[in-house]
């Protein structure tokens, strides 16, 4: 399958890319890992007249620890994050990076591209919203940094202006006593999840001081299950508290019925995923090493 | 390595806008350097199959799912149907044709044969290249490591058990080498 013909531009710096984008206008698109964009172009759902390739820009793939934050270059590949010891110290990041699609896609796909694409079924936004994450954007007019919650606007829609791109993703390292987990239900590795849950808990002994619960693939953007978070906050995490959170997550989900399942099925599924993720997050908050993988049907 | 000038075999269709834009690229495929001019929309798999005539890399689903088109790009397994040829400029690519060395099969090729890790063979090159990335990075892969490494490759004949055994056997023989 061929995409429609397009003009190819190879940026040598991110600044140059923003300049090219502002000259070319709305018919141009940025190419990062291409694992979402190229399939869309082959199916001719996306038909940009110009592609501006970022893959030849040096020094865009890195993970740096600065103070209490990890800084990810926009073109850091999922596989690099999966293998990086510094990122694995935040287990929920490793769950995400290691579980995206398959080896081949993880070798190409990028964290910045995933956020900029804002696919409702993408993994990174769901996980990074459960942490404290900021997105540094560079445009022809300068630079700005936004919290991820303000960056993601809608399905496939971000706060990025046409000539803006993601330069860096900045994740605050969770404090000691905080643990998280990300679990998705997938029919098979290469496809998007049917539903997913990201849970980050801050614990004091058995009681939960703070909770972030995000649901993936069950809304136009990742869904923050606020009632589910409240059900855990300040509580001892016994069966009743967890059951209340599950039910609240089920209600918060707003899934579309599709070939992966009915809306009711996905709601029930997401409740179960939240329960599993809470149980793993709680153990990790205690410092236990818990390996978890997605659930493959 | 000698550079060979290879012209794409595709007919020169014209788009509505006039002459087709082509990008000059240089890629090293299986140790041999090639300089070509490619249309930006040409997929890497098409360059490999149609411009370089290396037809061991297959197109299966053409939608980033099945992994039949897997090649190594600078040592990393990628789906060559989901990358433009122009993006491979300067890269080193290994296809299934590059696994054999001096007439001797690569241990993964031998193991797929010995263990009956294939039936129709369509998916096999992709499986072997995903396995080569795994065995290069991890000389003692666990069962889970192997399953994870081939999760992006689909086989519709074998049920995977013999593929799995072939990768285990290749790991053993490469360790002994």
Q: Is A236 exposed, middle or buried (0-12, 13-18, 19+ CB in 10 A)?
A: exposed
Q: A46 in contact with B at a CB cutoff of 8 Å?
A: no
Query: Are B129 and B164 contained in the same domain?
Result: yes
The class that CATH gives domain A178-296 is: alpha beta
Q: How far apart are CA A272 and CA A277, in angstroms?
A: 9
B15 → closest Cβ in A1, A5, A107: A5
Separation CA B81–CA B42 (nearest Å): 10
pLDDT recorded at residue B176: 73
Task: Note down the domain range covering B77.
Answer: 4-13+21-98
- CA dist A276 and A253 (Å) reads 17
**Are B145 and B65 members of one domain?**
no
What is the full DSSP assignment across B136-165?
Answer: HH-SS--HHHHHHHTTT---SSS-SHHHHH
Taken in order B143, B144, B147, B150, is the CA torsion positive or negative? negative
Please give the Cα distance from A120 to A154 (Å, whole number).
8
- Please report residues of B whose CB lies closer than 8 A to that of A292: none
What pLDDT shows up at residue A1?
A: 76
CA separation for the pair A46, A291 (Å, rounded): 38
Q: How confident is the model at residue B5, as a pLDDT?
A: 52
Nearest to A285 by CA among A94, A91, A109: A91
Residues of A numbered 80-109 whose beta carbons fall under 8 angstroms of chain B's beta carbons: which are they? 101-105, 107-108
A103 burial via Cβ count (<10 Å: 0-12, 13-18, 19+): buried
Nearest chain B residue to A39 by CA: give it: B63
Chain B residue numbers with beta carbons less than 8 Å from the beta carbon of A192 are none
Please choose, from the candidates A3, A10, A4, the residue with its C-alpha nearest in 3D space to the C-alpha of residue A31: A10
CA-based nearest distance B83→chain A, Å: 7
- Residue A234 C-alpha, separation from nearest chain B C-alpha, in angstroms: 38
- pLDDT value at position A297? 86
Residue A129 C-beta-side C-alpha neighbours within 13 Å: 25
* Cβ neighbours of A107 in B, within 8 Å: 73, 76-78
Average pLDDT of chain B is: 92
CB contact under 8 A, A189 and B149: no
Query: In this complex, do A107 and B78 lie within 8 Å of one another by their Cβ atoms?
Result: yes
Query: Once rounded to an integer, what is the mean pLDDT over residues B94-111?
Result: 97
pLDDT tens for chain A, 297 residues long, are: 789 999 999 999 999 999 999 999 999 999 999 999 999 999 999 999 999 999 999 999 999 999 999 999 999 999 999 999 999 999 999 999 999 999 999 999 999 999 999 999 999 999 999 999 999 999 999 999 999 999 999 999 999 999 999 999 999 999 999 999 999 999 999 999 999 999 999 999 999 999 999 999 999 999 999 999 999 999 999 999 999 999 999 999 999 999 999 999 999 999 999 999 999 999 999 999 999 999 998
Q: Find, in chain A, the residue whose alpha carbon is nearest to that of B74.
A: A107
User: Under an 8 A CB cutoff, do A8 and B152 touch?
Assistant: no
Same-domain pairing of B60 and B90: yes
Q: Do B87 and A103 touch (CB under 8 A)?
A: no
Out of B63, B80, B98, pick the residue that ends a domain. Answer: B98
Of A1, A4, A79, the CB nearest to B62: A1
Region B59-74 average pLDDT: 97
B85 and B114 inside one domain: no
Q: Rounded to whole angstroms, how far apart are CA atoms A212 and A225? A: 8
Assign B20 a pLDDT band (cuts: 50, 70, 90).
confident
β-bridge pairing A69-73 and A165-172: antiparallel
pLDDT at B10: 45
* Chosen domain end from B49, B71, B98: B98
**Do residue B70 and residue A104 have CB atoms under 8 angstroms apart?**
yes
Whether residue B92 is found in the same domain as residue B128? no
CB neighbourhood size of A138 (10 A): 20
Cα torsion through B103, B108, B110, B111, rounded to 10: 170
Considering the domain architecture, whether residues B50 and B82 belong to the same structural domain is answered as yes
pTM score of the predicted model: 0.94
**Alpha carbon of B103: minimum distance to chain A alpha carbons (Å):** 28
Q: Which of B98, B125, B148 corresponds to the end of one domain? A: B98
Residue of A51, A103, A105 with shortest CB distance to B64: A105
Is B2's pLDDT higher than 60? no
Rg (CA), chain B: 17
- CATH for B67: 3.10.20.30
Q: What is the pLDDT of residue B78?
A: 98
Minimal Cα–Cα distance from A203 to chain B, Å?
A: 31
- For chain A, give every domain's residue range: 7-53, 63-172, 178-296
Specify the number of domains making up chain B. Answer: 2
Q: Are residues B132 and B93 in the same domain?
A: no
Contact A233, A208 (CB under 8 A): yes
Instruction: Please report residues of B whose CB lies closer than 8 A to that of A38.
Output: 64, 82-84
Best of B84, B136, B137, B150 to disrupt the A interface (most A CBs within 10 Å) is: B84
Strands B70-73 and A63-66: unpaired
CB-nearest partner of B86 from A8, A39, A101 = A8
Q: What is the CATH number of the domain that holds B141?
A: 1.10.150.120
Q: How confident is the model at residue B175 (pLDDT cuts 50, 70, 90)?
A: confident
A27 touches chain B (CB under 8 A): no
Name the CATH architecture for the domain at A7-53.
2-Layer Sandwich (3.30)
Q: How do strand B92-94 and strand B23-29 relate by DSSP bridges?
A: parallel
Could you tell me which CATH number the domain at A63-172 has? 3.30.465.10
Q: Do residues A213 and A199 make contact, with C-beta atoms less than 8 angstroms apart?
A: yes
At B115-162, the pLDDT tens digits run 999 999 999 999 999 999 999 999 999 999 999 999 999 999 988 999
Restricting to A residues 176-205, those with a Cβ less than 8 Å away from any Cβ of B are 188-191
Cβ pair B107, B177 in contact under 8 A: yes
Question: Do residue A34 and residue B84 have CB atoms under 8 angstroms apart?
Answer: yes
């Amino acid at each position: 399958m061929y995409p429609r013909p397009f003009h190819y531009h190879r940026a040598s710096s991110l600044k140059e890319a923003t300049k090219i984008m502002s000259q070319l206008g709305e018919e141009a698109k940025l190419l990062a890992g291409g694992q979402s964009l190229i399939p869309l172009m082959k199916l001719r759902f996306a038909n940009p007249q110009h592609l501006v390739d970022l893959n030849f820009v040096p020094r865009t793939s890195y993970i740096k620890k600065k103070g209490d934050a990890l800084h990810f270059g926009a073109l850091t590949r999922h596989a690099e994050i999966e293998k990086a010891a510094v990122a694995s110290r935040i287990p929920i990041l490793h769950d995400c990076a290691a579980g995206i699609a398959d080896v081949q896609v993880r070798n190409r796909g990028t964290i910045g591209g995933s956020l900029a694409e804002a696919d409702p079924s993408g993994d990174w936004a769901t996980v990074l919203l459960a942490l404290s994450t900021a997105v540094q954007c560079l445009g022809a007019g300068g630079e700005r940094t936004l919290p991820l919650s303000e960056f993601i606007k809608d399905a496939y829609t971000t706060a990025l202006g046409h000539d803006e791109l993601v330069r860096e993703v900045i994740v605050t390292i969770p404090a000691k006593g905080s643990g998280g987990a990300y679990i998705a239900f997938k029919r098979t590795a290469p496809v998007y999840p049917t539903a997913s849950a990201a849970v980050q808990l801050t614990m004091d002994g058995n009681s939960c001081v703070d909770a972030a619960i995000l649901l993936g693939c069950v809304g136009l953007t990742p869904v923050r299950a606020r009632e589910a978070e409240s059900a855990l906050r300040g509580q001892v995490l016994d069966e009743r508290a967890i059951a209340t959170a599950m039910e609240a997550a089920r209600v918060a989900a707003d899934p579309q019925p599709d070939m992966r399942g009915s809306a009711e099925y996905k709601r029930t599924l997401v409740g179960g995923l939240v329960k599993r993720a809470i149980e793993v997050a709680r153990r990790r908050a205690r410092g236990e090493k818990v390996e978890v993988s997605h659930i493959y049907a | 390595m000698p550079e060979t000038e290879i012209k794409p075999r595709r007919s020169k269709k014209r788009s509505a806008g006039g002459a087709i834009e082509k990008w000059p690229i240089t890629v090293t495929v299986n140790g041999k350097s090639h300089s070509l001019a490619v249309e930006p929309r040409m997929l890497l798999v098409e360059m490999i199959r149609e411009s370089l005539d290396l037809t061991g890399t297959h197109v299966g689903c053409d939608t980033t799912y099945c992994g039949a088109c897997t090649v190594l790009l600078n040592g990393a397994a990628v789906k060559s149907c989901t990358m433009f040829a122009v993006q491979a400029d300067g890269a080193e690519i290994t296809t299934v044709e590059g696994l054999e060395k001096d007439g001797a099969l690569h241990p993964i090729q031998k193991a797929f044969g010995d263990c009956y890790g294939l039936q129709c063979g369509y998916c096999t090159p992709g499986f072997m290249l995903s396995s080569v990335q795994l065995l290069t990075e991890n000389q003692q892969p666990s069962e889970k490591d192997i399953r994870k490494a081939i999760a992006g490759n689909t086989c519709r004949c074998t049920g995977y058990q013999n593929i799995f055994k072939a990768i285990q056997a290749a790991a053993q023989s490469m360790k002994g080498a």
